[in-house]
Structure 1
Amino acid sequence: MNTKYSDLIDQTYYFPQEEFKLEGSELRFHDIDLMDLVKKYGAPLKFTYLPKISENIKKAKLWFNNAIEKHDYKGSYNYCYCTKSSHFEHVLNEALKNDIHIETSSAFDINIVEKLKTSGKITDDTYVICNGFKRDQYVENIARLLNNGHRNCIPIIDNYEELDLLTERIDGKFEIGIRIASEEEPKFEFYTSRLGIGYKNIVPFYNKTIRENEQVHLRMLHFFINTGIRDTAYYWNELNKCLKVYINLKKVCPHLDSLNIGGGFPVKNSLAFEYDYEYMIDEIINQIKLACEEAGVDVPNIFTEFGSFTVGESGGAIYEVLYQKQQNDREKWNMINSSFITTLPDTWAISKKFVMLAINRWNDEYERVLLGGLTCDSDDYYNSEQHTNAIYLPKFKKEKPLYIGFFNTGAYQDTIGGFGGLQHCLIPQPKHILIDRDEEGNIRTELFSEQQKAEDMLAILGYSRDN
């Protein structure tokens, strides 16, 4: 009878997979000895496997360059990293090894850009694409960057007032983009994105405000789909509408030469995940070329903004199962030594799923369980299909510690969770480990941050002040 946890995984998925394999009864991730991490640093812990960032960037650049060559596409390709996915210096340092550009979304992003310039990680040739709703501090920072000589900074106009705010502070000529306010999927609570300018209003806006403005050149049209780049009728329809805007705008605006297709690629969230990245890229390039040829206009240079795809699959979290609570005849709750709300907030906020696997005891029998966090909040739990099914793990045995891992968690979780700040129910932030490889390919680890202490939180709350 196949009752072992390893049997269950083998029967349910294709296993092993590119990044996952079994060594005895223990799981390895990119050949990292996860139990050795636990023995060295303890649990709970978070980790970032830095080489995965470069690997994904190189893959995307190769796929785009192959498609451009196949279709004899005359435009160039530029890979941008969305800093909002993870602002950490170690992430930017790794990403910038790969000749990429940066997309920002708020004022303090520009301060990070300036730090990177000072350290020589980026130069004036690096494109800085400034998205987001812009008001005083963001506008001031963008203007400072441009006025100090970074002419490849391109503010993306989100609303009609931003152009005046920028021209008041920026010296000399500069380039801009315009963001299209794409229509959302029918299941959304609203019809049109709050970000950008409507399809029908972009050409009139250009003719009225930009065309005769000698200070400003419109360089880029920005197209962003909230649900990401997916092979759906909705996505292809929105791309087609975007191309019509680009073509109409190009006919009256000779400076326009770039199309930014934001939205990003999906990240693997299950061992059953399937997505044909190469096909999607090939078809996007093909559709853009066909539309432009039919209209008799030059194809645009392509910019992409990949945040989650860049950094998501580099991250992971490891927890220990502390205790099992049998709440009724059907539900067993495995309590972890941390909180999902604080360490993986997307599982609670948007019911996001990550790859979840046992780290050890794969040769033990399995059981059906629910996973609960340490906070006193009823929403602090995780299962395979939020609010639907339970999950399966090796049977809980108090004398045999069980560790579980969540993988591909590298995007957004730390910033949304408030890294280094207050956590719900004052559950401490776990240790964070950086994992890299030396020139010979050997694994090396570094402690990036210790687990939060009571003193850290009390200081934030004001208890360290003199009364």
Structure 2
Amino acid sequence: MKTKYIDLIDQSFYFPQEEFTLAEDKLQFHGIDLMDLVKTYGAPLKFTYLPQISNNINRAKYWFQESIKRHNYKGDYHYCYCTKSSHFSHVLNEALKNDIHIETSSAFDIDIVKNLIKSGKLSKDNYVLCNGFKRDKYIENIAELINGSHKKCIPIIDNYEELNLLTEAIDGPFNVGIRIASEEEPKFEFYTSRLGIGYKNIVPFYNREIKGQENVNLKMLHFFINTGIRDTSYYWNELLKCLKVYIQLKKVCPTLDSLNIGGGFPIKNSLAFEYDYQYMVDEIIHQIQRACEEAGVDVPNIFTEFGSFTVGESGGAIYQVLYQKQQNDREKWNMIDSSFITTLPDSWAISKKFIMLPINRWYEDYERVLLGGLTCDSDDYYNSEQNLNAIYLPKYIKDNPLYIGFFNTGAYQESVGGFGGLQHCLIPSPKHILIDRDDHGNVVTKLFSEQQTANDFLKILGYDEQN
């Protein structure tokens, strides 16, 4: 009878996989011995595997280049990184090694852009696309960038007032884009995105506010839907509606030459994950080309803004199972040495699933368990692995510690969880490790941040100021 954890994985998934392999009974991630990481730095810990950022960027660039070549598409492709997915310097530094561009969302993003320009990592040849709802400080920072001769900074108009605000703040000619307020899936609580301008209002807005202005050139139409790039009738329908607007706009606006299709590539959230990226890119290029040819207009340059896809698969978290609580005859709770609410907030807030695997003891018997965090909140748990109805892990043994890893957690978790700030029930943020490879392919690790201490919390809360 097959009762070992490795047996369960073998009969459920194709294993090993590109990034997950075994060395004896221990899990390796991209060839990295995770138990060695635990022995060196302890648990809990978070890590970022930097080479995966470059790997995913170059995968996407390859798919688009292949499709452009296959279809003899006359436009160019530009890969932008959506900075709100992770603003950390190590992420931006790695991403910018790959001839990409930047998409920003708020005023302080521009301060990061200025820092990158000052350090020589970003140049005037890099596009800076400015999305989001813009008011005083954001407008001021965008204007400062453009007035400083960064002409490839393109603010994307989100509402009717932004154009006048930008015109007042910017000296001389500048380029803009317009964001389409796409219609949401029927399951949403609202019909139309709060971001952007409605389909029917874009051409009238251009004719009324932009056409004839000497200092303003419309260069880009921006399209994005919350559900991401998926092979569904909803996605293709919204894309076709976007292309109709692009064609109508192109016929009255000769400066329009770019279509930004946003982000939305999914990342791997299960060992059973399947997604044909090349097919989706081929179909997107084909749909754009066919619509433009039928309408007799030039095809646009294509921009994407991949955030989660860029950085998500570079991140991971490792916890130790501290104790097992048998709460009734069916439920066993494995208690981890941290909190899901604070360290993986998407698992709590939007029920997002990550790849979860044990780090050690793969050749031992397994059991069905629930995973609980350290806070006193009843919602601090992780209840199921993707594609399974429960969590199965090697059996808890008090004197033989079990370590578990959550993978592809690199997007949003630190910013949503409040990196370096207060945590629910004052559970400390774990230490964070950066993993890279040297010129010879050897693994190099570096401590990015220590685990929070009591003094860190006391200082934030103001107690260090009391006598």
TM-score by length of 2: 0.99
| Counterpart in the other structure of 1:414 | 414
Equivalent positions of 1:22-101 (< 5 A) are 22-101=22-101
Structure 1: which amino acid aligns with 2:325? K
Equivalent positions of 1:363-378 (< 5 A) are 363-378=363-378
Shift in Å, 1:263:
3.0
Structure 1 vs Structure 2: percent identity of aligned residues? 79
The answer to whether 1:297 aligns with 2:290 is no
Gaps of 5+ in 2: none
| Counterpart in the other structure of 1:443 | 443
Alpha-carbon displacement from aligned partner over 1:12-48 (angstroms, at most 9, x marks no partner): 1100001000111000000000000000000000000
Aligned length: 467
| Counterpart in the other structure of 1:382 | 382
Structure 1: distance between partners of 2:373 and 2:189: 30
| Counterpart in the other structure of 1:335 | 335
| Counterpart in the other structure of 2:111 | 111
Structure 2: distance between partners of 1:224 and 1:49: 28
| Partner SS, residue 234 of structure 2 | helix
| Partner SS, residue 465 of structure 2 | coil
Structure 1: distance between partners of 2:439 and 2:32: 16
Shift in Å, 1:385:
5.6
Structure 1: distance between partners of 2:12 and 2:389: 15
Structure 2: distance between partners of 1:128 and 1:197: 21
Structure 1: which amino acid aligns with 2:7? D
| Counterpart in the other structure of 1:207 | 207
Structure 2: distance between partners of 1:118 and 1:361: 49
Structure 2: which amino acid aligns with 1:185? E
Alpha-carbon displacement from aligned partner over 1:53-97 (angstroms, at most 9, x marks no partner): 000000000110000000000000000000000000000000000
Structure 2: distance between partners of 1:384 and 1:323: 19
Structure 1: distance between partners of 2:189 and 2:84: 24
Structure 2: which amino acid aligns with 1:242? C
Structure 2: distance between partners of 1:334 and 1:384: 13
| Counterpart in the other structure of 1:264 | 264
TM-score by length of 1: 0.99
Structure 1: distance between partners of 2:384 and 2:103: 33
- 8 Å Cα contact 2:75/2:302 also seen in 1: yes
CA-based RMSD: 1.0
Equivalent positions of 1:62-461 (< 5 A) are 62-384=62-384, 389-461=389-461
- 8 Å Cα contact 1:227/1:263 also seen in 2: no
Structure 2: distance between partners of 1:33 and 1:263: 32
Structure 2: which amino acid aligns with 1:133? F
Structure 2: distance between partners of 1:320 and 1:21: 20
Structure 2: which amino acid aligns with 1:419? F
Structure 1: distance between partners of 2:247 and 2:135: 30
- 8 Å Cα contact 1:226/1:263 also seen in 2: no
| Partner SS, residue 463 of structure 2 | coil
- 8 Å Cα contact 2:6/2:363 also seen in 1: yes
- 8 Å Cα contact 2:45/2:432 also seen in 1: yes
Structure 1: distance between partners of 2:66 and 2:385: 37
Shift in Å, 1:177:
0.2
Structure 2: distance between partners of 1:289 and 1:325: 59
| Partner SS, residue 78 of structure 1 | strand
Structure 1: distance between partners of 2:137 and 2:411: 25
Structure 2: distance between partners of 1:162 and 1:389: 48
Alpha-carbon displacement from aligned partner over 1:149-193 (angstroms, at most 9, x marks no partner): 101000000000000111110000000000000000011111100
- 8 Å Cα contact 1:264/1:304 also seen in 2: no
Gaps of 5+ in 1: none
- 8 Å Cα contact 2:368/2:390 also seen in 1: yes
Structure 1: distance between partners of 2:462 and 2:207: 54
